[in-house]
Amino acid sequence: MDLHEIEYAALAAQTGEAVGDSLLDVVDARTRLAGYNRMEILLFSLGTGESFGINVFKVKEVCNAPVLTRMPNMPRGVQGIVSLRGHIITVIDPGEFIALGGSRQQTGANLIVTEYSRHTVGFLAHGVDRIIRVDWERVKAPEAMLTGGGSLITAITEMPDGRLVSILDVEQILADAFGETVVADLGRIEGAAGTCVFFADDSVVARRKIVEVLDQLGLQHQHATNGREAWERLRALADQAGQEGVRDRIGLILVDAEMPEMDGYVLTRNIKADPRFDGIPVVMHSSLSSRANRAMGQSVGVDAYVAKFDPAALAAALRPLLRG
């Protein structure tokens, strides 16, 4: 049961598309949401009263949970594997990683098949609710005092009825289950000593891995944890630089596509529209690895688009933009 087909009629009504229009037109309408600081979230539960969400762009399919095959020595949280449409998919119970409040019911009624960084993974859910459309401005980063150092919640949004929805940091869940990507020796970029990269990413594990790559390339770095914070800090740097120009302070800007308060597409559009940032390349680094998302990145002017998280691919994208 394809998610886009499930929501076709509902999305058509929301976007004003005629029901007779092609499914590709509706999917394209979803893609355009990203460029206007909006996204759609699939709501689901993990067997307690809390509501969780995941970006629809990352969801390939929702189905009834099939019978799983358990394997020896499976990592924590991995419930087994399943063959689905000719592909072997690892299935994770995200509730194993989250400190859930209240008494948890048995989970696993539904399987949410997702694609992250070119990898397909299934997540077990107690139940799937519906898809809602939200402005990124209403998606807030959780307070540090509520999340601690190892939080698996990357953002929170409020529904019209006052219910809070926690958006999972899937990158952190995958890192907890399978371990973090090892960053091999990448070698420094010749002629880039002293160059500073400004990057924005809301995932703790992603920020940590980006820092490892930049350190190995011999680059200085500054960062922000969401799009709005990044834009405010970049404008402040431009104001401080004055006639000297930001180019002497920032050699490249690296942005995530999904971020609370302002997504990477709008952030990129703002940067490209401000002449003070002329000549500074913008690279989009995202777990949204579909061609539609790459095309959206190109439409707002990114100089390169790199799927997370491949350290060598990230380094290869940065080298020609920073060398010399």
Q: Are 229 and 255 contacting, i.e. CB atoms less than 8 angstroms apart?
A: no
What pLDDT does 21 receive?
42
Find the range with the poorest average confidence among 80-84, 141-145, 255-259, 318-322: 141-145
Q: Are 140 and 100 contacting, i.e. CB atoms less than 8 angstroms apart?
A: no
- Euclidean distance between CA atoms 132 and 139, whole angstroms: 12
- Euclidean distance between CA atoms 227 and 257, whole angstroms: 9
Q: Which residues in 64-76 are b (16+ Cβ under 10 Å) and which e?
A: ebeebeeeeeeee
pLDDT tens profile 124-174? 999 898 888 888 788 887 775 344 445 688 889 988 888 899 988 888 888
Element (H, E) at 171: helix 170-178
Tokens 């309408």 found at: 29
What pLDDT does 52 receive?
93
What pLDDT does 33 receive?
56
What pLDDT does 258 receive?
85
DSSP state string for 150-187 = T-SEEEEEE-TTS-EEEEE-HHHHHHHHH-PPP-----
Cα–Cα nearest to 295, from 287, 305, 285, 286: 305
For residue 279, name the pLDDT band (cuts at 50, 70, 90): very high
pLDDT tens profile 12-25? 333 333 333 443 44
The mean per-residue pLDDT over the stretch 19-39 comes to 51
Residue 103: other Cβ atoms inside 10 A: 8
What's the gap between Cα 4 and its chain centre? 19
The mean per-residue pLDDT over the stretch 56-77 comes to 88
- Euclidean distance between CA atoms 173 and 187, whole angstroms: 29
What's the gap between Cα 33 and its chain centre? 15
Element (H, E) at 203: none
Residue 122: other Cβ atoms inside 10 A: 26
Query: Residue 43 — left, alpha, or beta (φ > 0 → left; ψ -120 to 50 → alpha)?
Result: beta
Cα–Cα nearest to 121, from 321, 287, 294: 287
pLDDT tens profile 252-267? 999 998 888 888 999 9
Name the range with the highest mean pLDDT among 34-43, 78-87, 228-237. Answer: 228-237
For residue 100, name the pLDDT band (cuts at 50, 70, 90): low
Q: Are 197 and 251 contacting, i.e. CB atoms less than 8 angstroms apart?
A: yes
Percentage of the chain beyond pLDDT 90 is 36
Name the range with the highest mean pLDDT among 1-15, 100-114, 150-164. Answer: 150-164
For residue 4, name the pLDDT band (cuts at 50, 70, 90): very low
